[in-house]
Amino acid sequence: MAEIRLENIVKKFKDDVVVNNINLTIKDGSFTVIVGPSGCGKSTTLRMIAGLEQPTSGEIWIDNECVTHTPPGKRNSAMVFQNYALYPTMTVRKNIEFGLVNNKVPKAERNELIAEISEIVGLTEYLDKKPQNLSGGQRQRVALARAMVKKPKVFILDEPLSNLDAKLRGQMRKELIHLHKRLGTTFVYVTHDQVEAMSMGDEIILLNKGEVQQVDSPMTMYYDPNNIFTAEFIGTPA
């Protein structure tokens, strides 16, 4: 089980309140999308869930354990970044293996795990290449594979497709949905694109100015918006 709860979460940078008292439950096994305009606090919220940023006040719970002060490596979560954050001089294999840093998986098992995961994300033939010789889509897959070797209970993805062209983005959306079904783990996915949110999420959290506007299924969001902001944001094409 990996249910995530945010309780009264406030995040300030100096005097700027960027997350203003958020209360949320992200359901176990869901594909939850956090969406909202640029600067509304999506990445900050994700980074607090991942443990890369500390809330100014409030609590974060994963699986009925309070993790507010638990370091990122001990939260059973893995984050995939927008810019992939790959090591350019390391091979794909090494980049993926880097996900296992501090992990005592024996060498043979390690290689088996890397082989298995490379197969799932379609990188088997690229393991000896360097990221600079890969396409954007392939780099994205390396970043995913590096998160997957940890076998986390929670995948945290911050605008992972925004550097891809429209066609590849469409394909990767389908692949990510498929991957979520296959793994059955909780995905928390951030995008500023409401079309992406609506097509991928089974639950959508709409943020504006650091506050939650609505949490619902895509259908309910669209047909039964709580307020004018939701209606306009969800109804307006990108």
* Residue 18 interface partner, choices ligand ADP, Mg ion, none, CB cut-off 5-8 Å depending on type: ligand ADP
Minimum CB distance to Mg ion, residue 38 (Å): 7
43 belongs to the binding site for ligand ADP (CB under 6 A): yes
Strand duo 16-26 + 186-191: pairing: unpaired
Minimum CB distance to ligand ADP, residue 13 (Å): 3
* Residue 118 interface partner, choices ligand ADP, Mg ion, none, CB cut-off 5-8 Å depending on type: none
Q: Choose among 32, 33, 28, 31: nearest CA to 2.
A: 28
Minimum CB distance to ligand ADP, residue 40 (Å): 4
Residue type, 97: E
Minimum CB distance to ligand ADP, residue 73 (Å): 21
Number of residues that bind Mg ion (CB under 5 A): 1
Interface characters, 117-136, with ligand ADP (x: CB under 6 A): --------------------
Residue type, 185: T
Binding to Mg ion in span 34-53, by CB under 5 A: 43
Q: Could you identify the residue written with the tokens 């869901």?
A: 30
Q: Where are the beta strands (DSSP E) in 143-192?
A: 154-158, 186-191
Q: Choose among 75, 217, 51: nearest CA to 154.
A: 75
Q: Could you identify the residue written with the tokens 């350019």?
A: 88
Alpha-carbon distance of 88 to 221, in angstroms, equals 41
- In eight-state DSSP terms, residue 87 is -
Residues binding ligand ADP (CB under 6 A): 13, 18, 36, 38-44
Binding site for Mg ion (CB under 5 A): 43
